A and B are shown apart, each in its own frame.
Chain A
Amino acid sequence: MELLLFNIFNGLIVGLFYALMALGLSLILGLNGIINFANGSFLALGGYLAFTLKPEIGFWGALVASPLLAGLIGLVIERGLIRPLYGRDPLYSLLLTFGLAMIIQTMLRMTWGANGLPFKVPDFMSHPLSQTYFFLTGYRVFVVVLTILAAGSLFALLQFTRVGVRIRAGNSDLETVSALGINIYRLRAVNFGLGILMAGLAGVLAAGRLGLTPTMGASLLMPSFVAIIVGGVGSLMGSVLGGIIIGVASGIVTTYYPAASQVVIYLIMAVVLIVRPRGLLGQEGLLE
């Protein structure tokens, strides 16, 4: 029983990483119209930035600064590299973000080395909170709380701020948004940066749980795409839900048949695509 709970909780944590990453991917897909294959590399970048910043500004400082910094780098890359590709064949941006993923990954390897690095979280968080439920460490609970906070803040921003309203409007009709006096170039850059910020945050949190490697994001990328499909393309809430579902499902399967823990993710996707192609919370008519 404890083992099952242990795996479910582990799965939940990984699922939250998927969720954060999927949120960023969904944002960028929605307004920028780009499938960002570089999201995994940006996740790793966030983690490594935190690794380097921590000795200078401490864990908490790094936790805040690294995602922001990653987001800023994303914003600059959007302005320089991605912006010229809007309105062209999606193949261009696909190739670009794919190349970007490789370049960032290589830069990480050259800067910090190919071997794994540890990312220590503050001592008080690394102890189990309960003897029976040894896996309930302070850090894991912290990851849950922080993900809820981050996703909540993002939803609040989209719901209540003018920038958020414009991003939502632009998801359906960017041209009309521009005709209403909004600089859509800037809006797209901000949105891209916001998506990368979510990936960067996932990177810092994942570093504290899984350690750092240049490829740490690559292994989270595919499941994050699956999370979007399961949750429903176009629905941010769906992305979160999708991430949690496949994470937890993977955890459960690990208990009984570890070899299938990854396969189950794609199985869930296949079932969703057959039974409900629009995904759990996706809008009707988008894919069916």
Chain B
Amino acid sequence: MSQTNSEILRAEDLHTYYGKSHILQGVSLTVGEGELVTVLGRNGAGKTTTLRTLMGLTPARHGTINLFDRDITRWPPHKIAKLGVGYVPEGRKIFGHLTVHDNLRVPAARPGTWTLNTIYDLFPRLAERRSSKGANLSGGEQEMLAIARALLLNPKFLMLDEPSQGLAPVIVDEVMHTIRQMRDEGIAVLLIEQNAWLALGSADRAYVLGDGRIVDSDSAAAFLENKERVKALAGASLDPAGTQ
């Protein structure tokens, strides 16, 4: 278990609603400095809602969120982002009518290693397509663009919502490689995945979400030792061979 010395994120007893439906029913989780933590769970478990709550997009009605030693529970998204949080939303949410380059000019750039130039070095494909409209990119290119956009904030903490969704296996490998690269550079990562085997292969720790509650958590290594445990908790769609 790679429980690190200092926590950057501590969420406690989060309760989130969409109107009257009570979606998150007491979610608590932590992320340590430099850690890659994954949140698993089947479709509709509340993974996206968890990230949206942490990002301030769908604020929690009860519970507290501490980030970088600050209580950000009632903060608006832009203030949270400016603390150094990169958010790669579900479905990428590329600005389709904007060019790649303009997409990269939207974020409130914080000073740091990531600038337009270093981003184009990291993702040469985006440099090639800088004048293309976001909507005309392939799924993989869009995912890279969404990650690039978040990196321009020079985040200390990166949250990604199912980055592998709808991508070809080769591209998924590339995306996962980039995510590990970021973790290795010291960025803490909270990665949401439906594909448990994929996420556990890269993560330090994992939480399993079921019906708006954390139903299990352990080191990634411990989960990987016991395949039945993952299958039982997260559903049959998580077969390592992908025989869904």
Q: Which residues of A contact B (CB under 8 A)?
A: 162, 165-166, 168-169, 172-173, 175-185
Chain B neighbourhood of A178, CB < 8 A? 57, 76-78, 81
> Nearest-CB distance from A181 to chain B (Å)?
3
Q: How far is the CA of A166 from the CA of B102 in the complex (A)?
A: 9
Q: How far is the CA of A179 from the CA of B152 in the complex (A)?
A: 13
A162-B105, A165-B106, A169-B106 in contact; A180/B87 too (CB < 8 A)?
A: yes
> Which residue on chain B has the smallest CB distance to residue A177?
B106
Quick check: A180 and B97 within 8 Å, CB to CB? no
> Nearest-CB distance from B210 to chain A (Å)?
26
Number of A-B contacts (CB under 8 A): 63
Quick check: A172 and B82 within 8 Å, CB to CB? no
Interface residues of A, dominant DSSP: helix
Q: How far is the CA of A179 from the CA of B57 in the complex (A)?
A: 8
Q: Which residues of B contact A (CB under 8 A)?
A: 55, 57, 76-78, 81-82, 87, 89, 93, 95-98, 102-103, 105-108, 110, 149-150, 153
Q: How far is the CA of A172 from the CA of B96 in the complex (A)?
A: 9
Interface residues of B, dominant DSSP: loop
> Which residue on chain A has the smallest CB distance to residue B84?
A181
Chain A neighbourhood of B82, CB < 8 A? 181
Q: How far is the CA of A85 from the CA of B79 in the complex (A)?
A: 21
> Nearest-CB distance from A147 to chain B (Å)?
26
Chain B neighbourhood of A168, CB < 8 A? 95, 97-98, 102
Quick check: A176 and B78 within 8 Å, CB to CB? no
Instruction: Supply 8 A–B pairs (Cβ within 8 Å), ascending by A.
Output: A162-B105, A165-B98, A165-B105, A169-B95, A169-B106, A173-B95, A180-B81, A181-B153
A168-B97, A172-B96 in contact; A182/B89 too (CB < 8 A)?
A: no
Choose one: A166, A173, A181, A185; the contact of B81 (CB below 8 Å).
A181
Chain A neighbourhood of B89, CB < 8 A? 176, 179
Quick check: A173 and B93 within 8 Å, CB to CB? yes
> Which residue on chain B has the smallest CB distance to residue A180?
B107
Choose one: B76, B93, B97, B102; the contact of A176 (CB below 8 Å).
B93
Choose one: A162, A172, A179, A184; the contact of B97 (CB below 8 Å).
A172
Q: How far is the CA of A184 from the CA of B102 in the complex (A)?
A: 17
Chain A neighbourhood of B78, CB < 8 A? 178-184
Quick check: B96 and A180 within 8 Å, CB to CB? no
Quick check: B57 and A169 within 8 Å, CB to CB? no
